[in-house]
């Protein structure tokens, strides 16, 4: 971690903080990274977290801390690799894939290949994909078929490595721009299934708590009321499992779980459906842990070590993006796709996965 300190004189007075630091920090620290660092509390003025557009004053003492940057992944060539894809929807403009747990979405330090991006490139541009892609390329103008050059290889949003489920991928610049705007405007509806520890007491609820980089552990996120970014998560309980829950009185939304003698666990847990208004890094995992009900198998935000979950046959956080709804970028018609619960989660649902009905989740 590199640390920098600056003292503001009369000449710098009135400059925006982010622009000032762009001219003072090494070229490897981009303005976008500086703005992100300011939002996450890596930059302080007089020991206080401020906004990116803060105007400097005489005598301001600025402190900034940035890790040395690895070679940006965008500067490395993207290579098509024959990695199997579970495609649940595809047309000329876009495709939706069901990402398995364990597959990294984008190339990054330690994972420069073998990612979803490499798999998508193979599917779309390798000649061995067969006539279907040849016909597809014939339909789309050559200038539009630019998957390797699209931002983030056409992937509109992301999932953590060990989170499974649906991801939306654009094939053209037009589609990528339209879908990215929908994501920013919160028009893309993403719904998740999660198994969490304990019995969630209320049948539904909303967690509205800002999320930012943890001040001490920079690789993880945390609820941060000072310096965090707005984050809103809606949830509703589908079913409670495990040992009986004693309900005191008739508290609002408190429902005793149905005894499940076939449950594969001797501790209480809950199946919930989650929908997002925002898409912060690790948002569901951070918010559910903040609520006191971390996701099963999550060694980062949960209370139990990996060895505990390994002993129960769980090798990742049990979180799955099962539903995706958006407006098609060219036809302007609604598209909704879904993916069934993966086996490592389904085996924790005695009697099989439940039907998922519309409604709830605060929407």
Mind listing the pLDDT tens digit of every residue in the chain (363 residues)? Answer: 688 899 998 888 899 999 888 888 876 677 888 888 898 888 999 999 999 889 999 999 999 987 655 445 455 677 888 999 999 999 999 999 999 999 998 877 667 788 999 899 888 875 344 545 445 445 544 333 444 445 566 899 989 999 999 999 999 889 999 999 999 899 999 999 999 999 999 999 999 999 998 887 777 899 999 888 999 999 999 999 987 444 333 333 334 444 443 445 578 999 999 999 998 999 999 999 999 999 999 999 998 998 999 999 999 999 999 999 999 999 999 999 999 999 999 999 987 666 555 544 443
Count structural domains, the chain. 3
Residue 357 lies in a domain: no
* Domain housing 37: 2-66
CATH number at residue 46: 3.10.290.10
In a shared domain, residues 215 and 164: no
Residue 352 lies in a domain: no
CATH number at residue 143: 3.30.2350.10
The b-or-e profile of 182-193 (16+ CB within 10 A means b, else e) is bbeeeebbbbbb
Residue 322 lies in a domain: yes
In a shared domain, residues 202 and 297: yes
Domain boundary among 184, 207, 242: 184
Active-site annotation, residues: 160
Domain boundary among 162, 184, 206: 184
What DSSP assignment string belongs to 279-331?
--TTHHHHHHHHHT-PBTT-TTTSSS-HHHHHHTT--S--EEEEEEEEE-TTT
In a shared domain, residues 135 and 155: yes
- With a CB cutoff of 8 Å and minimum separation 6, the contacts of 190 are 157, 166, 275, 276, 279, 321, 323, 324
Residue 230 lies in a domain: yes
In the chain, what's the furthest Cα-to-Cα distance? 73
In a shared domain, residues 59 and 79: no
Element (H, E) at 96: strand 94-99
In a shared domain, residues 204 and 288: yes
Residue 323 lies in a domain: yes
Residue 353 lies in a domain: no
pTM, two decimal places: 0.70
CA distance 131 to 133: 5
Domain boundary among 160, 184, 208: 184
In a shared domain, residues 34 and 106: no
Residue 355 lies in a domain: no
């Amino acid at each position: 971690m590199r640390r920098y300190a600056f003292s503001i004189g009369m000449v710098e007075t009135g400059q925006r903080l982010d622009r000032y630091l762009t001219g003072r920090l090494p070229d490897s620290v981009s303005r976008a990274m500086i703005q992100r660092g300011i939002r996450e509390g890596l930059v302080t003025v007089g020991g206080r977290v401020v906004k990116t557009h803060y105007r400097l004053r005489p005598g301001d003492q600025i402190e900034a801390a940035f890790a040395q940057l690895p070679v940006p992944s965008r500067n490395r060539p993207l290579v098509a690799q024959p990695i199997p894809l579970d495609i649940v929807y595809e047309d000329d403009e876009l495709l939706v894939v069901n990402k398995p747990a364990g597959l990294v979405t984008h190339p990054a330090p330690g994972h420069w290949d073998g990612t979803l991006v490499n798999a998508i490139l193979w599917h779309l541009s390798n000649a061995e994909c067969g006539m279907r892609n040849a016909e597809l390329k014939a339909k789309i103008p050559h200038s539009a078929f630019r998957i390797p050059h699209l931002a983030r290889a056409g992937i509109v949003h992301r999932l953590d490595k060990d989170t499974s489920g649906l991801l939306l991928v654009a094939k053209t610049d037009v589609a990528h721009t339209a879908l990215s705007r929908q994501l920013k405007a919160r028009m893309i509806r993403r719904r998740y299934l999660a198994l969490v520890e304990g019995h969630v007491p209320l049948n539904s609820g909303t967690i509205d708590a800002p999320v930012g980089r943890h001040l001490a552990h920079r690789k993880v996120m945390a609820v941060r009321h000072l310096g965090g970014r707005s984050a809103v998560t809606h949830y509703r309980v589908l079913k409670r499992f495990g040992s009986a829950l004693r309900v005191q009185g008739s508290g609002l939304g408190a429902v005793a779980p149905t005894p499940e003698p076939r449950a594969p666990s001797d501790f209480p847990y809950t199946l919930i459906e989650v929908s997002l208004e925002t898409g912060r890094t690790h948002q569901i995992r951070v918010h559910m842990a903040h609520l006191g009900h971390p996701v099963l198998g999550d060694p980062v935000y949960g209370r139990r070590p990996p060895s505990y979950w390994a002993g129960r046959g769980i090798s990742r956080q049990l979180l799955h993006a099962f539903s995706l709804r958006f407006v098609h970028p060219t036809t302007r018609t609604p598209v909704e796709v879904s993916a069934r619960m993966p086996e490592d989660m389904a085996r924790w649902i005695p009697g099989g996965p439940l039907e998922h009905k519309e409604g709830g989740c605060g929407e």
